[in-house]
Amino acid sequence: MTVNVFGSPPASALRSSGRDPNPASRVRRLSWVAGNAAGAALAVYLLLPNLQYLLRTGQAIGLVFVIQQVWVAVVFVARRAPRTVSRRALDWIAAYAGWFTSFLVRPGGYHPAWGITVGFWVQVVGLLLWAWSFSKLARSYGIVPADRGLVTGGAYAIVRHPLYSAYVVGGIGYLMQSLSVRNAVVEMIAVSWQLVRIRAEERHLESPAYAAYRARVPWRLCPGLW
């Protein structure tokens, strides 16, 4: 047994006891956990207007949106730390602007009967695409462009950014249910930021492996279009 004459246990003892001997590492880990918890809390807070409308009226307007964003909150807590993260300011702005803007839709405006029904099922299609994408992405979900390992199976074998495809489909369905100038503008701004995010993520992931993946899967968002 190694004896430390200064009274502190050796690093090997700290490791065997589960304690990290590196204070900086502990701070980074705590910061990561705190950041994930804050992101999850913000996601829940921002969906409250839609949840309150759902509970108050009993209408299925925004129901799928609420389910999707609760899912985001859960994944925020469980996601893994990235290998690398973009340090470009525009990448961070686009990432959080695209993520935050999508929460600004509101269940107001005109609610045509056909829109409530058709829009609901369009959102369900978006949610199914979201679920299929997450079945492969799992804990690699993130907001800012980062490398958490290349995912190429499932929906990612059809388009390179199926989560954003799901966002677009879900947004169209939501707009069908709640027609308003506000929601239309919010959706257009959100989609614009998502396109910036796509380019930022691909720039950060650029590598021989990603180039081979891009050659196999030429479409970013929608087969035959882009």
- State pLDDT tens for residues 49-91: 777 777 777 776 767 777 777 777 777 666 677 788 888 999 9
Domains in the chain: boundaries? 83-216
123, burial (CB in 10 Å: exposed 0-12, middle 13-18, buried 19+): buried
How much is the mean pLDDT over the chain? 80
Query: What pLDDT is attached to residue 221?
Result: 93
Helix 181-205, helix 208-216: angle, nearest 10: 130
- The string of pLDDT tens digits covering residues 97-151 is 888 888 888 888 898 999 989 999 998 999 899 889 888 887 777 788 888 888 8
Global pTM value:
0.74
What whole-number distance in Å separates Cα of residue 225 and Cα of residue 38? 36
Query: What pLDDT is attached to residue 24?
Result: 64
What whole-number distance in Å separates Cα of residue 170 and Cα of residue 180? 16
**Residue 28 pLDDT > 90:** no
The predicted model gives 19-35 an average pLDDT of: 61
What whole-number distance in Å separates Cα of residue 198 and Cα of residue 103? 19
Query: What pLDDT is attached to residue 70?
Result: 75
Task: Reply yes or no on domain 83-216 having CATH 3.20.20.220.
Answer: no
